[in-house]
Amino acid sequence: MGVEGIGASVARKEDKRFLTGKGRYTDDMSVPGMKYAFFVRSPYAHAKIKSIDMSAAKDMPGVIGILEGKQLQADAIGNIICGWMIHSKDGSPMNMGVWRPLAHETVRYVGDAVAIVVADSLGEARDAAEAVVVDYDVLPAVTEAVKALEAGQPQLHPEAPNNLIFDWQIGDGAATDKAIAEAAHVTEITLRNNRLAPNPMEPRATLGIYDSAEDHYTCYTTSQNPHVARLVMSAFYNVAPENKLRVIAPDVGGGFGSKIYIYPEEIVCLWASKKTGVPVKWTCDRTEAFLTDAHGRDHVSTVKMAFDKDNRIIGLKVDTIANLGAYMSLFSSAVPTYLYATLLSGQYAIPAIHANVRTVYTNTVPVDAYRGAGRPEATYLLERTMETAARELGVSPAELRRQNFVRTFPYQTPVIMNYDAGDYEASLEAAMASADWNGFAARKAEAARRGKKRGIGMSCYIEACGIAPSAAVGSLGAGVGLWESAEVRVNAVGTIEVMTGSHSHGQGHETTFAQLVADRLGVPIDSVNIVHGDTDKVQMGMGTYGSRSGAVGMSAVVKALDKVEAKAKKIAAHLMEADESDIVIENGELKVAGTDKTLPWFQVALAAYTAHNLPAGMEPGLKEGAFYDPSNFTFPAGCYICEVEVDPETGVTDIIQFVAADDFGNIINPMIVEGQVHGGIAQGIGQALLENVHYDPQNGQLITASYMDYAMPRADDLPSFKLSHQNTPCPSNPLGIKGCGEAGAIGSPPALMNAITDAIGNNSLTMPATPQKVWAALNAAN
C-alpha cells in the first residue's frame, strides 16, 4: 500500500469545497430567468377532489403560472411506477394502483401534490398557493397496515381489493411447519419495526430548465442515481427522450435511500418549465420533506423459531405485514421481499425457513428503501428472537449464536442467498473482548449500588450488498440490471479522469476511487479526478445504494483500468523495444522488468495521443470503458454489542458503550469506512431509542412533521463508538470489497433493544424505547 493507495486513510479530496462553503448543491444553482415553484398539497389523508379554483391565485403578484394534474395528463405525462414486479403466491401480479404526479381525482396522503405554482419569488409562489381553492370531499383514512387489511376499512385503490398489494412467500412452508411441530422448544415473538423518516440534511430540490430552441430539458436534482432518473423519466413518464434530457445530480447532501426514487416534483418542474417558458426551481422545506420523502421500515411480524434439544435452530417461520403507503414507490416491492426475507437465515445454519409477506396500501406517504432496506428488518427479527430464545433456554446469548453459526463456505441458505465468505465467530469474539463482556456482572452490580439498571445486548448481523447480479435480479422481477459502468480517460499529459456511474452524496468517492487509480498506476491522487452525477459526462450508470459503489462501481473502474494498462504496456513495450509481458507499472513509471529502462507514465500517455510512433495498427488515444456485472451479492457481517444504564426513576436510557466488530472484506480507506459505520450506528440508535413517524390513526395527519416533533439523534444522545474489523476478502469481485454503507443501521437496533430489555427484565418493549415506554415496561416487570 502506498501513502495514497488502497488501505490508506487519505484525507478527502472533496472536503475543501465543503469546508469553505463552495459545495454546489441543487438549491445553490441559479440560472438566468429562473423562477420559483411551490406545490399545492392535500391537507387530507384521503379525499376526492371536486374542483380546483385558481381564479384568485393566478392574479396574485409575481405569479407566472399555475398548473394542475388534468393538464399534465392531457400532455401525456405518465404515471409513477414501481420498477420491481412481485407476484403473489397464487401467481397473480402485484396490484399496483395509479400514482399521478399531480392528483386530480383522488388524494391519498397528507402532502399528495395537487398543483404547482410558479412565481417570481418563493414567497409569492407560496402566497399564491395558499389562494388556490381546492374543494375536497373528505373520505375516511387508514394509516396502519394491519388495520388496512381488515374488513370494512377505507379502500385506497380499485386495483387492490382490501388494500392488499401482494401476498408473497419464500421458502419451504411444509418443512418449516414440520420442524416447528417436532421442536424441543419454540420461541415466538411479535415485533414491530417502527416507521422512520430518512432525513438527509439537504432537503430534496430540483431545477427544471426547458430549452425551446433545442427542444431539450436539463434537470438538476438531488439524486443518488441520475441516469436511472433519466431512464425512468424518458421510458415511463414521457417527459422527453433520453437524448433530449440531461440529468445532473451535483453535490448531494445525503440520501440514505430517500433520493433513489423519481418523485413527482422532478417530473412536474420539467414539464412546468416548458409550459411556463421559464426555468423552474423547487426546494423542499423540512415539513414538506417529512410529508413527501419516502419513509422506511414499518413492518409488523410474527416469528416462530424452533430449536432441537441441543439448542440448534431447526426451523424459522415468519409472517410479515409491510406498510407501503399510499402508492408504490420505485423499489418499494423489493424491500420487504427480496431485500428482506432472503436474509432471514442471518448468520445461522437453519435447515428450514418460510416467510410470508403481505404488503398493504395505507393513507401515508410511500415507503421504500431506507439505509439497510429490508436487512435491518430481518436482523431485528432474528436478533431479538435469538436473545429471547437464549433467555427462555437459559443459555448465554453468545453461546446460542456460536452454536448455530454458519462455519463453512460457500453456504446455501434455504432462502436464495449463497454466502461466499465470512468468519462470524471472529467478530463475535472481537466484540466481546472489546466490550469486556466478561466484566459485565461486576459493572451491573456497581450500577445497582447507584440505583441504576445496567444491561448488555448483542446482535450478529449479515446483509447482502454489492447489489446486484443483473440476471439474478431480473429473474426475481427487477425492471433494470444492476451492473455499473466506468470510463478511464488518460489525458495527453498523463492526468486521469474517471467517469463513474456511482454517485457520491457523502461517501467520499472522489477520494476512494482516486486511491484505486493511484494504487494501480502509482500516480498521485491529485492527478486523478472523479467525474460523476451528470448524464452528459458519464455514459451510463445505476447509481449508489445498497452499499454497491465499492463492490460494483469500483470493480467497473478496475475493468477499465485493466484495459488502459494493457494498452499503455503495449505502447511502452513498443517504445522501449521490449516484450509487452516484461512491462511493469510502478510508481508512475512503465519499466522493463530486470532492466533500467523506464518511461514515465505521462510520456506513454503523450505517445498515445501524438500517435507518431505506435505499434502497427493501434488506434491513437488512451481511454477505455467497462461495464461490470457482479456474479454474486456480497455479504458483510459483524457483531455489535451495546451496554446501557437505565434510570428506574425516569426510564431514561444512557448508552454506556457501543462496540462494532465488522467484516467488510478489503477496505480502500479505513477512515472513510469508519465514518460510514459511525453514521449507520447513529441512525440505528435513532431508530431504537428516539425516532418514530407517527400518523394520527383517526385522520391520517402526520404528527411528527418537524424537528420539534421527530426526534433526530443529536450529539448528546450518542456516545463515541468502539470499532474493529475482522475482514475476510469477498471472493466474487476483483477488489475483495463487501461494502460498509448500511451495516451500522442494520446491526445496531437489536443490540440496543436487547441491552435495554436485559436491563429492565421485560422483553415487551417496542422501538423507539422512549423513557415513557421503558419506565412503563420496567414497572410492569416489577
Binding segment for other proteins among 67-75, 82-90, 147-155, 706-714 (CB under 8 A)? 706-714
Between the two ends of the chain, the Cα-to-Cα distance in Å is 57
CA-wise closest residue to 702 among 428, 363, 394: 363
Residue 487 or 662 having the CB closest to other proteins: 662
Contact map string, positions 176 to 205, toward other proteins, x by CB under 8 A: -----------------------xxxxx--
**Is residue 652 a contact partner of residue 666, using CB atoms and an 8 Å limit?**
no
Q: Which of 15, 159, 586, 654 binds other proteins (CB under 8 A)?
A: 15
Can you list the alpha helix ranges (DSSP code H) found in 586-665? 601-610
Does residue 259 touch other proteins according to CB under 8 A?
no
Give me the least distance between CB of 405 and other proteins, in Å please: 28
Give me the least distance between CB of 25 and other proteins, in Å please: 7
Residue 28 or 425 having the CB closest to other proteins: 28
Nearest 5 degrees, angle CA 429-CA 754-CA 346? 60
Does residue 776 touch other proteins according to CB under 8 A?
no
Torsion-angle region of residue 559: left (phi > 0), alpha (psi -120 to 50) or beta?
alpha
Nearest 5 degrees, angle CA 682-CA 673-CA 623? 135
Does residue 296 touch other proteins according to CB under 8 A?
no
Q: Is 317 exposed, middle or buried (0-12, 13-18, 19+ CB in 10 A)?
A: buried
Binding segment for other proteins among 24-32, 291-299, 378-386, 647-655 (CB under 8 A)? 24-32
Residue 267 or 723 having the CB closest to other proteins: 723
Q: Which of 118, 252, 521, 572 binds other proteins (CB under 8 A)?
A: 252
Give me the least distance between CB of 36 and other proteins, in Å please: 10
Q: Which of 17, 89, 185, 537 binds other proteins (CB under 8 A)?
A: 17
Q: Which of 181, 714, 779, 780 binds other proteins (CB under 8 A)?
A: 714
Query: 205-211 and 216-221 as β-strands: parallel, antiparallel, unpaired?
Result: antiparallel
Binding segment for other proteins among 213-221, 329-337, 538-546, 717-725 (CB under 8 A)? 717-725
Q: Which of 1, 20, 51, 616 binds other proteins (CB under 8 A)?
A: 20
Beta-carbon-side half-sphere exposure of residue 197 (alpha carbons within 13 Å): 31
Does residue 654 touch other proteins according to CB under 8 A?
no
Q: How far apart are CA 358 and CA 374, in angstroms?
A: 14
Does residue 61 touch other proteins according to CB under 8 A?
no
Q: Is 152 exposed, middle or buried (0-12, 13-18, 19+ CB in 10 A)?
A: exposed
CA-wise closest residue to 745 among 196, 145, 319: 196
Does residue 253 touch other proteins according to CB under 8 A?
yes
Q: Which of 105, 150, 285, 586 binds other proteins (CB under 8 A)?
A: 285
Does residue 43 touch other proteins according to CB under 8 A?
no
Give me the least distance between CB of 667 and other proteins, in Å please: 14
C-alpha cell read off for 79: 404515471
Does residue 28 touch other proteins according to CB under 8 A?
yes
Can you list the alpha helix ranges (DSSP code H) found in 83-195? 122-131, 145-148, 173-181
Residue 163 or 512 having the CB closest to other proteins: 512
Does residue 507 touch other proteins according to CB under 8 A?
yes
Host H or E run for residue 530: strand 528-531
C-alpha cell read off for 157: 385503490
Does residue 713 touch other proteins according to CB under 8 A?
yes
Q: How far apart are CA 70 and CA 55, in angstroms?
A: 16
With both helix axes pointing from N to C terminus, report the angle between 670-685 and 743-760 in degrees, rounded to the nearest 10: 40
Does residue 771 touch other proteins according to CB under 8 A?
no
Q: What count of other Cβ atoms lies within 10 Å of the Cβ of residue 396?
A: 11
- Dihedral sign for Cα 276, 277, 278, 282, please: positive
Residue 567 Cα to chain centre, angstroms: 37
Does residue 133 touch other proteins according to CB under 8 A?
no
Q: Which of 4, 68, 144, 251 binds other proteins (CB under 8 A)?
A: 251
Rg (CA), the chain: 27
Give me the least distance between CB of 674 and other proteins, in Å please: 8
Q: Is 39 exposed, middle or buried (0-12, 13-18, 19+ CB in 10 A)?
A: buried
Binding segment for other proteins among 152-160, 424-432, 500-508, 689-697 (CB under 8 A)? 500-508
Does residue 3 touch other proteins according to CB under 8 A?
no
Residue at grid coordinates 445497582: 448
Binding segment for other proteins among 9-17, 155-163, 330-338, 343-351 (CB under 8 A)? 9-17
Residue 516 Cα to chain centre, angstroms: 24
Q: What count of other Cβ atoms lies within 10 Å of the Cβ of residue 212?
A: 9
Does residue 653 touch other proteins according to CB under 8 A?
no
C-alpha cell read off for 251: 453535490
Does residue 508 touch other proteins according to CB under 8 A?
yes
Q: Which of 19, 56, 442, 493 binds other proteins (CB under 8 A)?
A: 19
Give me the least distance between CB of 354 and other proteins, in Å please: 36
Does residue 680 touch other proteins according to CB under 8 A?
yes
Q: Which of 678, 729, 770, 771 binds other proteins (CB under 8 A)?
A: 678
Does residue 545 touch other proteins according to CB under 8 A?
no
Give me the least distance between CB of 503 and other proteins, in Å please: 12
CA-wise closest residue to 520 among 475, 424, 587, 438: 587
Q: Which of 530, 554, 585, 682 binds other proteins (CB under 8 A)?
A: 682
Q: Which of 27, 298, 420, 662 binds other proteins (CB under 8 A)?
A: 27
Does residue 674 touch other proteins according to CB under 8 A?
yes
Give me the least distance between CB of 691 and other proteins, in Å please: 11
Residue 21 or 394 having the CB closest to other proteins: 21
Encode 435-464: b = buried (16+ Cβ within 10 Å), e = exposed: bebeebeebbeebeeeebbbbbbbbbbbbb
Residue list 320-349, contact with other proteins (CB under 8 A)? none
Does residue 694 touch other proteins according to CB under 8 A?
no
**Is residue 459 a contact partner of residue 639, using CB atoms and an 8 Å limit?**
yes
Does residue 233 touch other proteins according to CB under 8 A?
no
C-alpha cell read off for 507: 461517501
* CB-based contacts of 164, cutoff 8 Å, min separation 6: 95, 149, 358, 359, 360
* Contact residues: other proteins, CB under 8 A: 11-12, 14-25, 27-28, 30, 121, 123, 199-203, 251-254, 256, 283, 285-287, 505-508, 671-672, 674-675, 678-683, 706-708, 712-716, 718, 720-721, 744
